[in-house]
Structure 1
Amino acid sequence: MRLPLPDPRELPRVLLGLPERVFGLLDAAESLIGRVDALLERIEGTRLGADAVVRRVDGIAADAEPLVHRLGVLLDRLEPPLTTLEPTLRTLADTTSPAEVAALVTMVDHLPELTRRLETEVLPIMTTLGSVAPDIHDLLDVSRELNEMLGKLPGMGRIKKRVEEQQEDDAERSD
């Protein structure tokens, strides 16, 4: 590419305008250098901020590494039973209402008292049931004999029939 040369007659005008243009270029270069300096400072600030973020991430990663290892070990141990229980857990989750969960929580809250009463009240009674059974049989035999004796009294048949009719009426009303 060929550069056009100024006409020799215009050379004095060109030479007179040259310092103005050079000073204009110098001013533009100084302004550009100032902007580049400001940009470099912002880039340095960004780099420093990025370095700080990298240090924080490295610290978090160092803290998280033992936790990730522990979670990995725990997951390895729990995965087989959880996989086996998954259908049961899904059914339980699909069929359990919030009211049932609340009832279960209430029941768990009462377990200490229920356990105490079971140990102090129910179990002692259960241990005596073996000796009570013959007494109950004797009492039942005496009750049958008494019922037979009452049935032989004059007029008791009609009373018995009336009582049975009344019980039937009561049963029909309750249905």
Structure 2
Amino acid sequence: MRLPVPGPRDVLTAIERGTDQVEALIGAVPRVLALLDDAERLLVRASAAIDRVREVTEAANVIVVRTSAVVDDADAQVVRVTGLLDTFEPSLTRLQPTLETLADTTSPDEVRALVQLVDHLPALTATVEKDLLPVLGTLGSVAPDLHDLLNVSRELNEILGKVPGIGRLKRKVEEDDDELPVT
């Protein structure tokens, strides 16, 4: 392969072109300087934008970490609630008709009365424990005494029935009892 060697004409053409190009190059210097100024301004703005993007990214990372913690807590609660629902689902399914009937038939007055009853339960419990339970405990020993009293009452009635004139008095009392209005 042959390498071209410039001749004298090529040198003259290059010089002519060179002066035109030098003049064009000198004319382009102000434009190049203006472009450099614009580039510097763009660089400053780009640097500020990059700094702002970095700040936003860091803030977003903080929010992502916090959000991740919230999501983890929510997941843990979902697991707990799911376990509870799985445990209580059969009972709640069986109770559903009862709860619906209760909701349909319970009036606000009944709810207020129930709340009042619950408010009175401590005093009622204390009274039952202090006064009623001791009496109920002695009923076992009272029953034989009542039975004996009933026997004595029957015997007394038989004895009185044998006393002369008591039969007429007894009939008179029974007639008077029959005439009394029933209330």
What is the TM-score normalised by the length of structure 2?
0.58
Q: Which residue of 2 aligns with 1:95?
A: 105
C-alpha distance in structure 2 between counterparts of 1:58 and 1:112, whole Å: 48
Q: 1:119 to 1:29 in 2, by over 3 A?
A: same
Cα deviation for residue 115 of structure 1 reads 2.1
Task: Please list every run of 5 or more consecutive structure 1 residues that lacks an aligned counterpart in the other structure.
Answer: 1-7
Alignment of 1:14-33 (within 5 A): 17-33=27-43
Q: Which residue of 2 aligns with 1:41?
A: 51
Alignment of 1:1-175 (within 5 A): 17-125=27-135, 128=139, 130=143, 148-150=171-173
TM-superposition CA deviations, 1:103-159 (whole Å, max 9, x none): 2222112212212222333345556485658969x6xx9xxx98853577xxx8xxx
| 2:130 partner amino acid | T
Q: 1:72 to 1:44 in 2, by over 3 A?
A: same
C-alpha distance in structure 2 between counterparts of 1:64 and 1:98, whole Å: 36
Identity of aligned residues (%): 39
TM-superposition CA deviations, 1:74-110 (whole Å, max 9, x none): 2211111111112222232333333332322221122
C-alpha distance in structure 2 between counterparts of 1:70 and 1:35, whole Å: 52
Task: Output the aligned Cα RMSD.
Answer: 4.2
Cα deviation for residue 17 of structure 1 reads 4.3
Deviation larger for 88-97 or 56-65: 56-65
Larger radius of gyration: 2
C-alpha distance in structure 2 between counterparts of 1:95 and 1:134, whole Å: 51
C-alpha distance in structure 1 between counterparts of 2:123 and 2:117, whole Å: 10
Deviation larger for 36-45 or 17-26: 17-26
